Amino acid sequence: QVQLVQSGSELKKPGASVKVSCKASGYTFTSYAMNWVRQAPGQGLEWMGWINTNTGNPTYAQGFTGRFVFSLDTSVSTAYLQISSLKAEDTAVYYCATRKDTALDYWGQGTLVTVSS
């Protein structure tokens, strides 16, 4: 069965960087695009962008350019989200999700990133 397993919670200081992983199993990794979704505490879901798992080409939503980087390691079927120069407002749960055609399909369990001094 399809599974997306994300890395564990992170506590970081402002200005630091964090890298969240999303390991896929149960399907051919390059068959589906990988998306990233943010959920700030008490807030709704926000689409951050996606990465083409065939070409590695990322697309970032407005508001997620510059400090946010999507990457892949197809040899281990893993997608990554790196956030640099962390700010308190980056505190959120980050989800990876596959996209099949036009809809988000399978979801990771989420990774809580807390930014606090």
Q: How many residues does the chain have?
A: 117
Distances (CA, A) of 24 to 1, 3, 32, 89, 104: 10, 6, 11, 28, 15
* Of residues 42-81, those binding other proteins (CB under 8 A): 44-47, 50, 52, 59, 61-62
**Toward other proteins, which CB reaches closer, 62 or 117?**
62
Q: Does 28 bind other proteins (CB under 8 A)?
A: no
Number of residues that bind other proteins (CB under 8 A): 26
Residue 15: CB minimum distance to other proteins, A: 29
Computed from CA positions of residues 95, 109, 112, 83, in that sequence, does the dihedral angle turn out positive or negative?
negative
Binding flag, residue 110, other proteins (CB under 8 A): yes
Q: Which residues contribute to the site for other proteins (CB under 8 A)? A: 33, 35, 37, 44-47, 50, 52, 59, 61-62, 95, 97, 99-110
